[in-house]
Copies of this chain bind each other. A is one copy, B any other.
Amino acid sequence: MLIVMHHWATDRDIEKVKATITSMGLKPVAIPGAERTAIGVIGNEGWVDDAPLRGIKGVLEIIHVTKSYKLVSRDFHPSDTVVRLGDGVKAGGRAPFLVIAGPCAIESRDQIFKTARFLKKLGVPALRAGAYKPRTSPHSFQGLREEGIRLLSNVRKEVGILVVTEVMSPEHVEMVAGEVDILQIGARNMQNFDLLKEVGKTRKPVILKRGLSATVEEWLASAEYILLGGNPDVVLCERGIRTFETATRNTADLSVVPLVKESSHLPVIFDPSHATGKRSLVPHMALASLVVGAHGVMVEVHPDPEHALSDGPQSLHFKEFEKLLKQLRAMEGFMKTLKEQGGRWRSVS
């Protein structure tokens, strides 16, 4: 259940609603928004009798949620959400096309600093690198873990680049959130609900990857967990889905980018590396994602892909990445022109 307040509702009105919810044995969660404040109700209810709430001053609407998500929908929040990632770096709306890049896993101090400095020089705002690695087999490299987080923290300060890393366990969230700029929830954890609730409590932006076989509705419902927890800064990331086709690692589902933008106000980025699993396909798909309206890409790049501890075959060499970056910037400019012309054409017709 959601209680939506009038835009003129006072703090006192809101407190009154929250107290009433508590007195009903339930838990209120305030969700401040640019347009209006809503108060989510959490608890083990099926249906809740909303009688005690109906008469309170400032209450605009009481919504008994039947869809699996509400806060992430355009119905609730019509304009694009722009997520602030760091000083002058944003995702969503009309913010510049976001490029996040880096190796699958942090392997060594040398590897991560080399990559960070390379990206910094090119003007790439954010470095991605995994410290905790979700691996199918326990016999595979599991990441440098705490040591990796330390390296990331150092690189962030010394190089001056935003850092993104995956959290896999609720108990690590607070520590990791203290050291990095952006948290990532991986595809395998898209429905790790306790983890979603935990990142919902932080003040750090969250990149939420789509699960391997998650429908768009399930993906948005997972984002809803984070927003309902009080954290509005979610960036969705399409990374390919699992299908019968084995010629690519996953099947890049690019059409969900414009689709999700129709039903949600959250920014959407694309990961061409996991979506294809093949280096030669990455630049094509990265450019295509910009064209279909993605707000950014997250790309794997490695100083020496042939010797990477994980995901080597899908990681770009530095020179390949540099070329792609130039193409993305050129395409960004071109798409801006195209849209402006689109506007004119429309007025003519």
Which A residues form the contact surface with B (CB < 8 A)?
A: 1, 42, 44-46, 65-70, 134-145, 168-171, 188-189, 191-195, 212-213, 215-218, 221-222, 224-225, 228, 241-248, 251-259, 262, 275-276, 278, 280-281, 284-285, 287-289, 291-293, 309, 319, 322-323, 326-327, 330-331, 334, 338, 341-342, 345-346, 349
Contacts and interface: CB of A to CB of B under 8 A. Distances in A.
A276 B285 CA distance: 17
Given A46-B309, A216-B245, A284-B293, 17 more contacts: A1-B139, A66-B139, A134-B191, A136-B221, A138-B225, A138-B228, A168-B192, A169-B194, A215-B246, A215-B247, A241-B251, A246-B246, A247-B259, A259-B278, A326-B345, A327-B342, A330-B341
Contacts of A194: 168-169, 171
A178 to B, nearest CB: 18
A202 to B, nearest CB: 16
A292 B331 CA distance: 13
Given A44-B145, A258-B280, A212 B215 contact: no
Contact of A168 (B193, B244, B345): B193
A342 B254 CA distance: 24
A171 B168 contact: no
A242 B251 CA distance: 11
Contact of A169 (B46, B170, B257, B326): B170
Contacts of A145: 44
Number of identical protomers:
4
Most buried by B among A140, A255, A276: A255
Contacts of A291: 284, 287-288, 291, 331
Contact of A255 (B218, B276, B331): B276
Contact of A244 (B143, B192, B215, B257): B215
Contact of A44 (B136, B144, B195, B225): B144
A32 B345 CA distance: 48
A288 B292 contact: yes
A288 B284 CA distance: 9
A143 B309 CA distance: 40
A136 B330 contact: no
Contact of A323 (B188, B192, B292, B346): B346
Contact of A253 (B242, B252, B323): B252
Contact of A251 (B253, B281, B349): B253
Contact of A68 (B45, B136, B251, B319): B136
Given A193-B134, A248-B259, A323 B349 contact: yes
16 contacts: A68-B140, A136-B217, A139-B224, A168-B193, A169-B170, A169-B195, A170-B171, A192-B192, A241-B245, A245-B256, A251-B251, A254-B254, A254-B285, A258-B281, A287-B291, A322-B349
A261 B45 CA distance: 38
A193 B327 contact: no
Contacts of A188: 191-192
Contacts of A139: 1, 65-70, 224
Nearest to A144: B44
A20 to B, nearest CB: 19
A272 to B, nearest CB: 8
Residue among A45, A254, A262, A292 with max Cβ neighbours from chain B (10 Å): A254
